[in-house]
């Protein structure tokens, strides 16, 4: 069901009931952008770094559509009742004091992507439901209360308050002003005012209605009327301002009578109207509050961005540090499950070829999986692949298939325990034993060795002894780095910026030989600097924040200085063009002049199985010099090779185990373990249900 | 005519012809925002300040629709042929290196406004024509040329170049790579590769077509194919990458044969495709280039923002200082005319009740004006007011009625010279004598005494002896300031920020008594500081930039320090709550706590005659503390009282005359002058065609 400003009030009780009845709830968001390109996300970000980068990269974008799909187990019918809501969100203006006229960012490629999916921007901008985060709400409320108190005081001693704060009363009623009125200096204004006075006289004589709504006029003329009319008709009328809900034009309304009882009644009316306006301004935030308060299992697919946008837009600004973010999320949504992570973990890792939502869901409807029996919401018929493609990336639809995928995975897990009777998900607690290994772990994209953020505890700290931090001249390309490391075999490159990257060795045993690279070229001065990942992290005192927040950019000059410092000898500038020997100077010079606007930066995509598509999400380049897009694609390939092929190229480092919330409880079920082995021979010699160090 | 990506190529020759044939050209733009609220625009901004503020306030917004209407005098038919083009603009993605994925800002209220006018965002985002400004274009072009040169070299010695820079060739063709290929470590990739090899074998055997387009696959698999296929089929095939124009998916294309002639033909094809891609990326910028090169009269209505957005988006980033901006505009559009300014100047000032485009155009179709005979473009029939309201704020329509309004004003001017035969606007030179007083003067909104930016010369420097700069505690409201100045009569307040404003005295003669206000309250410590406008400007060394660019915000502490410094005595903090004596402390304290998100800031609206409407353009508040929206409206009234009522409240200061490009040439025609007097008695005792000091 599409929910807009038009039907929101009407649908809200249905939404509330659906949330209250739900066994679990799936969510998904659509955004106006994914990355402003401030930082490059790398394969070796620490979880803190990654959070900080995403936090900065996504600032100012808007969540424009919120999909919510509630799944409620019906014991009688033995199936799930599903309700899907597709909320259009837009920070619609309000005449309330304290409601901001928001400035938000859009990323061309994201709008492009949404357009291609058939997203209706006209509907969103015209009919989107507004929102306030909690601070804003309390600001607006206190301003409103203050205004109401002032108005009340103004009634008690109209002369006193009104002079000192004439503005605060004008929206409702203007008690007679004691100060000198605005001088009317021109004939037009005089004529206009006289005309209105005649109108009011007729209105008072005719006695056919209680109020006279004047034609809209500009604020100067309104001010004149506010001052003039009570003087001309003392104790006979009240003068109010009113905003037309359709046209947003301001009208003056003349109300017959000025008795205490009329004033009280008008005040009552005004308060009711104001409370309604406040509720309208809070808008969609109410739904998120309900979602938070219900404390139910919230399921999403690749949901880190959904969480970030949802909390920032409807709850509060985000803290800069990961630990605070974790506390915040635990407080707002204490029970989360990410189906992309679930699908990437055992036993599903070996049964699924992809964790892209659409394809994963299709796969989860085939053997050995058994889709749950669900009442498909009206417009979503997943029977055909066409329907799925049509609806994919509509937030509610994505939430819906996230739920069906989740149920299929739960069914599969329970089949190990008791093949005859599937575990129905009736509530969060009912499936806690099955899903606990996946709870509050959020999929982390493009990380080589940290598959998830652990919201409820410490994050994994895999060994990065085979990872190195390299600084080099900005003219260097991937090929220069590969050439440099060629004695040690294949490498994966993860660009930090134009003059620094992480390099991971495929052959970890070669790590001890990296230092020799620095010496191997001793005849020539050293153009680069290599430090181990651990040294790098230790160096950058408070980690990422100190190093990256300054957008350190090397100029030719400081590249030079740096190299001088580390090698102890000066080098001519021409040498700094490229490391690679044997490369013709001409072609190198050419390439070192690649225009500044080319892209090395990459931002997050929701589906990472096809990185060609991810090109559309490249961030606005901010670096002084950048490598070509093609080089980017190449780097992406290398960074994500495991995800793409589902085959770990790194040898597992057995020294690391997952500490909190590990899958021991599932492992302890030996029959389960055996079932699993017999069903899926390809994993028979791999340890089951253990979080791998490589993903 | 609506012009989108779909018909742009087709329409471009028509556009070119229309521009070349035009007697004059009208333009209008629609934007995603008007002000991010960084600075408050004040009634006493210097032209430099104003430009700098608008420059900052509008950064990152997008021009989303460009209206262009060409007027061509047809001597034979004795009427104007009109062609109206409504260009939808959007920074559509491109696969070209160097084309940025733009991040742009939107202002809720602006989208809201456009939505209310029926703007089709879906059309804009889906079908908008892309653009590059000139730097971007040359970056993209040089990257492309470099790529082409590299590719050519790669043909000559395929082994050499390709190894060192494998990335740069992959988009066209992958010569055999000498380096070790990417290791294929998993069965799936092996199976996939074997499948493709079989496919290519069949393709080579069947000889039914020249190329085989493979199914899209991810970048890792494409890389494998790029490396594998040339090895498996040496000298038999070329392997190319190709992006599907519809789906943006990347395909591998296998081309039969690898002979030199085939390579050359493919290279030729590739270059043509790339040149077309480049032209597509440049897109709409071509039209602006044509507009600039034609050097014709460009007419707009209230066109400062149109100029700023157009130049920034399609030409180059804007310079921070006004003088440079003027040079730039003179270079890009040497002949400009702003109909809002023209309508605000004599003789029209006294004949028009408003300069809001729609209403002004309607008025200019009534006596004493004579609308020109024009061929109305298909969809725009201005015969009825309804049609006008329907189309108003569609960029091409606004451009169209700007032109008809302009022609009517020109007709009117020429009627003074020769009542029997109107002056037809056949070219810029043909009307130079009539319109020269208005040329290259751009209307300046919300300025009390500087009606326009003079692009071709020095700006007006009216006396501001009656204007004062005041600093005060942030708790102060307009009422406190009015109370302070009450001994000197009415004032107009122009907020700079929460703790500073300009105050203009209605009674200029009182200026000499302002100093006494500082002393009048000697018993109490002085909570405020008043300096003359001239002192203030002299103080802020390099003017606005030094004072404002730091967003100076007073805390209670530094308000305190400041006051101490100027009064020589310390004051208790509680005193700093309000200046106004007799105001209950409780109510003041309450108001001083007005939430931070309320709005004192205002941004520009295109029509300033109804400031109630302008509320929707309020900027995002950035100040620590701000006054209520109502207070804003009140301030706006006072700032703009003259514009609203068309009656100067200030007495004219006769000491200032307009210097360059003044209207002397029109004044010198005595018969004209007499005609004018007899026709419009209301202006008979005012000097004609003299730029007033008050607007």
* A345 domain-assigned: yes
**Mutate which of B94, B96, B97 to test chain A, going by most A C-beta atoms within 10 A?**
B97
What CATH number corresponds to the domain at position B501? 3.30.70.330
Residues B516 and B617 in one domain: yes
* B230 domain-assigned: yes
**Cβ–Cβ pairs < 8 A, chains A and B:** 327
* A654 domain-assigned: no
Contact between residue A614 and residue A636 where contact means Cβ atoms under 8 Å apart? yes
- In chain B, the number of structural domains is 3
Contact between residue A494 and residue A635 where contact means Cβ atoms under 8 Å apart? yes
**A446: closest CA among A617, A246, A666?**
A617
Residues A33 and A141 in one domain: no
What CATH number corresponds to the domain at position A332? 3.30.420.10
pLDDT for A564 beyond 90: no
Candidates A114, A163, A612; nearest CB to B218: A612
Please name the residue ranges forming H helices in B171-321.
187-206, 219-232, 260-282, 285-293, 304-314
pLDDT for A692 beyond 70: no
Q: Do A186 and B645 touch (CB under 8 A)?
A: yes
pLDDT digits (tens, 9 = 90+) for B453-474: 999 999 999 999 999 999 999 8
Q: Do B136 and A353 touch (CB under 8 A)?
A: no
Residues B555 and B618 in one domain: yes
Candidates B104, B171, B353; nearest CB to A630: B171
Tokens describing residue B380: 């725009």
What stretch of H or E contains B145? helix B134-156
Lowest mean pLDDT among A194-203, B208-217, B472-481, B537-546: B537-546
Which of residues A424, A454, A484 is at a domain's end?
A454
**B620: closest CA among A242, A284, A91, A247?**
A91
pLDDT digits (tens, 9 = 90+) for A208-242: 888 899 988 877 788 888 888 888 988 888 888 77
pLDDT of residue B228: 87
Q: Do B139 and A596 touch (CB under 8 A)?
A: yes
pLDDT of residue A137: 93
Candidates A105, A112, A490; nearest CB to B105: A105
Contact between residue A558 and residue A471 where contact means Cβ atoms under 8 Å apart? no
Mean pLDDT, rounded, of chain A: 73
pLDDT of residue A379: 60
- What's the rounded Cα separation, in Å, for the pair B451 and A400? 59
pLDDT digits (tens, 9 = 90+) for A314-325: 999 999 999 999
pLDDT of residue A111: 95
* B651 domain-assigned: no
Contact between residue B630 and residue A174 where contact means Cβ atoms under 8 Å apart? no
Residue B497 pairs in a beta bridge with B500
Residues B366 and B269 in one domain: no
Contact between residue B450 and residue B444 where contact means Cβ atoms under 8 Å apart? yes
**A691: closest CA among A438, A371, A495?**
A438
Name every chain B residue with its beta carbon within 8 A of the beta carbon of A646.
186, 188
Q: Do B620 and A645 touch (CB under 8 A)?
A: no
Name every chain A residue with its beta carbon within 8 A of the beta carbon of B188.
353, 645-647
pLDDT of residue A518: 76
Burial (CB count <10 Å: 0-12, 13-18, 19+), residue A441: buried
Question: What is the domain range of residue A197?
Answer: 136-266
Percent of chain A with pLDDT over 70: 67
CA distance B253 to chain A (A): 15
pLDDT of residue A249: 76
Bridge pairing between strands B441-443 and B452-454: antiparallel
* B668 domain-assigned: no
Residues B124 and B252 in one domain: no
Residues A179 and A250 in one domain: yes
**A360: closest CA among A397, A306, A405, A393?**
A405
Tell me the range of A295-304, A574-583, B606-615 where mean pLDDT is highest: A295-304
Name every chain B residue with its beta carbon within 8 A of the beta carbon of A106.
32, 103-106
How many other CB atoms are there within 10 angstroms of residue B549's CB atom?
14
Q: Do B220 and A109 touch (CB under 8 A)?
A: no
pLDDT of residue B664: 30
CA distance A117 to chain B (A): 11
Q: Do B219 and A111 touch (CB under 8 A)?
A: no
Query: Mean of the pLDDT values across residues A386-390?
Result: 58
pLDDT for B620 beyond 80: no
Q: Do A620 and B101 touch (CB under 8 A)?
A: yes
Q: Do A167 and B477 touch (CB under 8 A)?
A: yes
CA distance B95 to chain A (A): 8
Give the ipTM of the model, two decimals please. Answer: 0.75
Burial (CB count <10 Å: 0-12, 13-18, 19+), residue A675: middle
pLDDT digits (tens, 9 = 90+) for A606-618: 333 332 232 222 2
* B121 domain-assigned: yes
Tokens describing residue A37: 């390109």
CA distance A132 to chain B (A): 11
**B104: closest CA among A62, A595, A101?**
A62
Q: Which pLDDT band, with edges at 50, 70 and 90, does A183 fall under?
A: low
Mean pLDDT, rounded, of chain B: 73
Name every chain B residue with its beta carbon within 8 A of the beta carbon of A122.
115, 120-122
Candidates B122, B149, B634; nearest CB to A121: B122
Question: What does the angle CA B172 – CA B177 – CA B180 come to, to the nearest 5 degrees?
Answer: 140
Q: Do A633 and B105 touch (CB under 8 A)?
A: no
Contact between residue A623 and residue A510 where contact means Cβ atoms under 8 Å apart? no
Query: Mean of the pLDDT values across residues B213-239?
Result: 84
pLDDT for B137 beyond 60: yes
**A28: closest CA among A299, A386, A353?**
A299
What CATH number corresponds to the domain at position B202? 3.30.1370.50
Q: Which pLDDT band, with edges at 50, 70 and 90, does A482 fall under?
A: confident
Tell me the range of A561-575, B5-19, B185-199, B524-538 where mean pLDDT is highest: B5-19
Nearest-Cα residue of chain B relative to residue A33: B103
Residues B245 and B363 in one domain: no
Residue B375 pairs in a beta bridge with B81
pLDDT of residue B248: 67
Q: Do B637 and A101 touch (CB under 8 A)?
A: no
Q: Can you say whether residue B491 is alpha, beta or left, with left for phi > 0 and alpha for psi between -120 and 50 degrees?
A: beta
Q: Do B168 and A630 touch (CB under 8 A)?
A: yes
pLDDT of residue A132: 95
Nearest-Cα residue of chain A relative to residue B643: A220
Residues B68 and B205 in one domain: no
pLDDT for B575 beyond 70: no
Residues A190 and A89 in one domain: no
Candidates B112, B122, B595; nearest CB to A98: B595
Residues A417 and A530 in one domain: no
Which of residues A454, A481, A510 is at a domain's end?
A454
Question: CB pairs under 8 A, 24+ apart, for B612-616?
Answer: B612/A216, B612/A218, B612/A219, B612/A222, B612/A249, B612/A250, B613/A248, B613/A249, B615/A95, B615/A248, B616/A93, B616/A101, B616/A248, B616/B109, B616/B112, B616/B113
pLDDT for A542 beyond 50: no
Name every chain B residue with its beta carbon within 8 A of the beta carbon of A182.
490
User: Cα separations (Å) of A406 from A85, A401, A431, A442?
Assistant: 18, 8, 12, 14
pTM of the model: 0.75
Q: Do A219 and B248 touch (CB under 8 A)?
A: no
Query: Mean of the pLDDT values across residues A450-468?
Result: 93
Please name the residue ranges forming H helices in B528-570.
533-539, 544-548, 556-567
Lowest mean pLDDT among A137-141, A144-148, B81-85, B166-170: B166-170
Tokens describing residue A600: 């090395």
Q: Can you say whether residue B459 is alpha, beta or left, with left for phi > 0 and alpha for psi between -120 and 50 degrees?
A: beta
Q: Which pLDDT band, with edges at 50, 70 and 90, does B589 fall under?
A: very low
pLDDT digits (tens, 9 = 90+) for B653-675: 333 333 333 333 332 333 333 33
Q: Do A477 and B103 touch (CB under 8 A)?
A: no
Lowest mean pLDDT among A295-309, A681-695, B408-422, B574-588: B574-588
* A400 domain-assigned: yes
User: Cα separations (Å) of A467 from A464, A530, B466?
Assistant: 5, 10, 69
pLDDT digits (tens, 9 = 90+) for A350-363: 888 888 898 898 88
Name every chain B residue with its beta carbon within 8 A of the beta carbon of A166.
479, 634
Longest CA span, chain B: 105
CA distance A146 to chain B (A): 7
Q: Cis peptide before B368, with omega less than 30 degrees from 0? A: yes
CA distance B57 to chain A (A): 11
Name every chain B residue with its beta carbon within 8 A of the beta carbon of A596.
139
Name every chain B residue with its beta carbon within 8 A of the beta carbon of A33.
103
Q: Do A640 and B165 touch (CB under 8 A)?
A: no
Phi and psi dihedrals of B206, rounded to 5?
-75, -30
Candidates B60, B105, B125; nearest CB to A115: B125
**Mutate which of B164, B169, B593 to test chain A, going by most A C-beta atoms within 10 A?**
B164
CA distance A572 to chain B (A): 23
Q: Which pLDDT band, with edges at 50, 70 and 90, does A180 fall under?
A: low
Which of residues B454, B481, B496 is at a domain's end?
B454
* B158 domain-assigned: yes
- What's the rounded Cα separation, in Å, for the pair B414 and B405? 14
Residues B277 and B299 in one domain: no
pLDDT digits (tens, 9 = 90+) for A36-86: 999 999 999 999 999 999 999 999 999 999 999 999 988 888 888 999 999
Residues B541 and B627 in one domain: yes
pLDDT digits (tens, 9 = 90+) for A612-658: 232 222 222 233 233 333 333 333 233 332 222 222 323 233 333 33
Q: Do B188 and A646 touch (CB under 8 A)?
A: yes
Helix (H, G, I), strand (E, B) or coil at A31: strand
Name every chain B residue with its beta carbon within 8 A of the beta carbon of A149.
590
Q: Which pLDDT band, with edges at 50, 70 and 90, does A129 fall under?
A: very high
């Amino acid at each position: 069901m599409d929910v807009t400003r038009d039907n929101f009030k009407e649908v809200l009780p249905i939404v509330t009931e659906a949330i209250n009845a739900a066994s679990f709830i799936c969510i998904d968001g659509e955004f106006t952008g994914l990355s402003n390109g401030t930082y490059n996300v790398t394969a070796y970000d620490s979880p803190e770094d990654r959070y900080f980068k995403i936090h900065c990269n996504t600032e100012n974008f808007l969540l424009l559509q919120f999909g919510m799909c509630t799944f409620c187990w019906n014991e009688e019918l033995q199936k799930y009742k599903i309700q899907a809501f597709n909320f259009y969100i837009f920070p619609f203006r309000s005449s309330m004091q304290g409601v901001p006229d928001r400035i938000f960012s859009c990323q061309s490629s994201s709008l492009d992507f949404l357009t291609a999916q058939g997203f209706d921007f006209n509907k969103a901008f015209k009919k989107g439901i507004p929102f306030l985060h909690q601070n804003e709400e309390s600001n607006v409320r206190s301003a409103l209360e203050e205004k109401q108190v002032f108005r009340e005081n103004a009634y008690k001693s109209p002369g006193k308050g009104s002079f000192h704060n004439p503005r605060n009363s004008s929206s409702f009623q203007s008690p007679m002003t004691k100060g000198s009125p605005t001088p009317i200096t021109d004939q037009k204004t005089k004529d206009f005012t006289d005309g209105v006075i005649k109108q009011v006289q007729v209105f008072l004589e005719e006695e056919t209605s209680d109020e006279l709504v004047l034609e809209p006029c500009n604020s100067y003329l309104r001010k004149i009327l506010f001052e003039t009319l009570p003087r001309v008709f003392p104790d006979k009328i009240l003068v109010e301002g009113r905003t037309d809900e359709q046209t947003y034009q301001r009208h003056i309304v003349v109300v017959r009578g000025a008795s205490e009882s009329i004033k009280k009644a008008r005040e009552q009316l005004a308060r009711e109207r104001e409370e309604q306006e406040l509720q309208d301004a809070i808008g969609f935030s109410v739904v998120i509050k309900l979602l938070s308060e219900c404390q139910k299992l919230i399921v999403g697919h690749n949901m880190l961005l959904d969480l970030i946008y949802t909390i920032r837009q409807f709850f509060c600004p985000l803290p800069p540090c990961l630990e605070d973010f974790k506390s915040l999320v635990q407080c707002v949504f204490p029970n989360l499950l990410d189906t992309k992570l679930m699908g990437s973990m055992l036993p599903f890792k070996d049964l699924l070829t992809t964790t892209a939502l659409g394809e994963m869901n299709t796969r989860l409807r085939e053997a050995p999986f058994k889709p749950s029996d669900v009442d498909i919401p009206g417009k979503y018929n997943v029977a055909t692949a066409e329907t799925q493609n049509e609806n994919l990336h509509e937030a509610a639809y994505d939430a819906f298939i996230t739920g069906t995928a989740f149920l299929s995975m739960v069914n599969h897990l329970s089949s190990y325990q008791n093949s005859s009777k599937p575990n129905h998900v009736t509530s969060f607690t009912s499936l806690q034993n099955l899903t606990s290994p996946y709870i509050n772990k959020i999929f982390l994209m493009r990380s080589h060795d940290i598959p998830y953020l652990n919201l409820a505890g410490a994050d994994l700290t895999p060994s990065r002894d085979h990872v190195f931090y390299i600084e080099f001249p900005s003219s260097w390309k991937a090929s220069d780095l590969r050439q440099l490391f060629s004695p040690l075999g294949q490498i994966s490159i993860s660009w930090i910026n134009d003059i620094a990257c992480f390099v991971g060795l495929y052959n970890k045993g070669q790590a001890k030989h990296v230092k020799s690279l620095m010496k191997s070229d001793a005849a020539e001065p050293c153009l680069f600097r290599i430090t181990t990942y651990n040294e790098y992290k230790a160096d950058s005192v408070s980690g990422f924040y100190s190093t990256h927040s300054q957008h350190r950019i090397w100029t030719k000059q400081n590249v030079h200085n740096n190299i001088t410092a580390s090698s102890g000898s000066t080098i001519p500038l021409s040498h700094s063009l490229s490391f690679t020997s044997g490369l013709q100077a001409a072609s190198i010079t050419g390439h070192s002049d690649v225009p500044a606007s080319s892209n090395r930066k990459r931002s997050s995509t929701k589906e990472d199985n096809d990185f060609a598509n991810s090109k559309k999400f490249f961030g606005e380049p901010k670096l002084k010099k950048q490598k070509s897009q093609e080089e980017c694609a190449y780097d992406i390939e290398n960074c994500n090779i495991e995800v793409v092929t589902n085959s770990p190229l790194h040898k597992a480092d057995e020294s690391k185990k997952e500490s909190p919330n590990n899958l021991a409880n599932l492992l302890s079920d030996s029959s389960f373990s055996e079932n699993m082995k017999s069903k899926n021979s390809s994993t028979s010699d791999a340890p089951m249900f253990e979080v791998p160090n490589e993903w």
